[in-house]
Structure formats: C-alpha cells, structure tokens
C-alpha cells in the first residue's frame, strides 16, 4: 500500500497501529466470595419470606457476580418448580373431578 493513498487522518508512519490493552481495574463485584459470605447468604435464604425478597435483591441489584448468578439460577429453579406444581395439581384436580362425576 502506498503512503500517498492513505487518508490524511491515519498514522502514515506505520501501517499497523499498536493496540494497547486497558489496564485491569480492581472490581470488588468480581472477586470470589469467601466461605463466610456463602454461609451468611445461605442462612439468609433459609428464612421464610425473606428469602424470596433477598433472591430478587441479590439477583438484580449491584453486588457480587457469584451471588448474583446463584440467585438468578435459584429464581429460575423456583419458576420451573411453580410451573410443574401447577401442572401437577391441575392434572390431579381434573382426575378427581372426573372420578367423582362418573360415580354420580
């Protein structure tokens, strides 16, 4: 490539521009959680009614990425189990209604 054909805004001294990686910044949300943090998390999630609120707070708030992913996975598992329980009870209820209707 001829240097005269390059647009005026490009560096004409070298064809390949050097790429400088950004410096790694310390992010406390990316660090690994300690065993104590996990124990506190599991104890809080064992408290009825508080656990559902804390699942949402930790899943969608600003915090540790490990805890955030754990809570998102927990919410997904809760949603799947609610769907299965609704299907199960619907099938059981329909069979009971059908069974009692046939006898009468």
The per-residue pLDDT for range 25-83, each reduced to its tens digit, is 888 888 899 999 999 999 999 999 999 999 999 999 999 999 999 999 999 999 999 99
**CA within 13 Å, CB half, 29:** 8
What is the average pLDDT across 84-88? 97
| pLDDT for position 61 | 94
Quick count: other Cβ atoms within 10 Å of Cβ 66? 16
CA distance 20 to 17: 10
Radius of gyration in angstroms for the set of CA atoms belonging to the chain, rounded to a whole number: 29
| pLDDT for position 11 | 54
CA distance 91 to 88: 5
| pLDDT for position 2 | 57
Q: With 90 as the cut, is the pLDDT of residue 12 above it? A: no
pTM over 0.85: no
Q: With 70 as the cut, is the pLDDT of residue 14 above it? A: no
């Amino acid at each position: 490539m001829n240097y005269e054909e390059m647009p005026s805004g490009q560096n004409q001294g070298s064809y390949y521009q050097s790429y400088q990686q950004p410096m790694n910044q310390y992010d406390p949300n990316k660090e690994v959680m300690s065993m104590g943090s996990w124990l506190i998390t599991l104890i809080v999630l064992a408290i009825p009614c508080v656990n559902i609120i804390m699942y949402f707070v930790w899943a969608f708030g600003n915090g540790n990425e490990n805890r955030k992913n754990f809570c998102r996975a927990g919410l997904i598992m809760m949603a799947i189990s609610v769907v299965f329980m609704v299907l199960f009870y619907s099938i059981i209820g329909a069979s009971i209604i059908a069974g009692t209707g046939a006898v009468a």
